[in-house]
Amino acid sequence: MANIDETAILKRIFSYFLLIFLAVVILAPFFIGIWTSFLPTADILKGNFFSTNVSLNNYFDAFTQTPILRYLGNTVVISIITMFAHLIFCSMSAYAFVFLDFKYKKVFFALFMVTMMLPSEAAIIPNFQTVKALGLLDHYSAMIVPSLTSAFGTFMLRQSFMQTPMELKEAADIEGLNHFQIYWNVVLPYNRISLITLGAYSFLGAWNQYLWPILVTFSNNSRVIQNGLKQLQSEETFNNWGMIQASAAIIVIPTIIVLFIGQHYFKSGMNEGAVK
């Protein structure tokens, strides 16, 4: 018995050691980044990471001396519009694929899936041509219109909608609800966890866009935060690393907030009691 206990304890020590090690490896750069955002650039350049000159000056500078607020505003608008567009269009198409019967349903769905397999980078040149022809360059819509819907979102919601008990739809049918009422009053509330997941995913996806915005934006009026950060780094002849770190932290914080809000809803058992 004693032997078994010892090996169990050793095993446990080992796994905790491994977990702590991995946590440090993963989290260290993040915390170093946050920490240095509070330090003056002079100290960072000297490598004096344990400096005690901690202040919020970098944040103050970032907000006052750079257009970061404008970038943030641009990104927030684009991300939120993209998120809601995904929620609306993906859920509608997913509803059609699950609850409606129409000709060539499977073919259409296969077409959807095919677009998912195509990497977005491959579509960048034709997309650019289209956007340019439409005269949308350097405008919010250049970043919003091409990503109004997503095959992944449709696919994800379709899988989720298929889990909706058929009886709920039938009960609604008997009460005489039309498709839009069933969609709005039954299917969407039942699948709200998937919708929140997709919302968070779409928001973060839009927030972290880099390649596409860098192609279609030229001015601060439409530049998004990720490009803005890069811009800061190259514009400043004397690289103000403290300020850049502060800006990076500002960018990360909203994504963390989104994840925290989202996490609150990932409770199991929300749909318990519907059937059986």
Interface residue list for other proteins (CB under 8 A): 165, 167-168, 170-177, 181, 185-186, 189-190, 192, 269-276
- CB-wise, 73 or 165, nearer to other proteins? 165
Smallest distance, Å, CB 11 to other proteins?
38
- CB-wise, 194 or 247, nearer to other proteins? 194
For residue 47, the one-letter residue type is: G
Smallest distance, Å, CB 83 to other proteins?
21
> SS in 3 state form for 44-102?
HHCCCCCCCCCCCHHHHHHHHHCCHHHHHHHHHHHHHHHHHHHHHHHHHHHHHHHHCCC
- 53 Cβ partners below 8 Å, 6+ apart? 39, 40, 43
Smallest distance, Å, CB 265 to other proteins?
12
- CB-wise, 144 or 177, nearer to other proteins? 177
Smallest distance, Å, CB 157 to other proteins?
17
Tokens of 20: 């702590």
Smallest distance, Å, CB 76 to other proteins?
29
Tokens of 199: 């919302």
- 56 Cβ partners below 8 Å, 6+ apart? 38
Residue with tokens 């990497």: 119
- CB-wise, 140 or 184, nearer to other proteins? 184
Smallest distance, Å, CB 259 to other proteins?
23
Smallest distance, Å, CB 165 to other proteins?
7
- CB-wise, 35 or 184, nearer to other proteins? 184
| Residue 190: Cβ within 10 Å count | 20
> Rounded CA gap, 152 and 59, in Å?
37
CA 5 to chain centre: 45
> Rounded CA gap, 251 and 227, in Å?
11
- 95 Cβ partners below 8 Å, 6+ apart? 161, 179, 183, 187
Smallest distance, Å, CB 51 to other proteins?
53
Tokens of 254: 């909203």
- CB-wise, 159 or 181, nearer to other proteins? 181
> Rounded CA gap, 195 and 201, in Å?
10
> Rounded CA gap, 157 and 165, in Å?
14
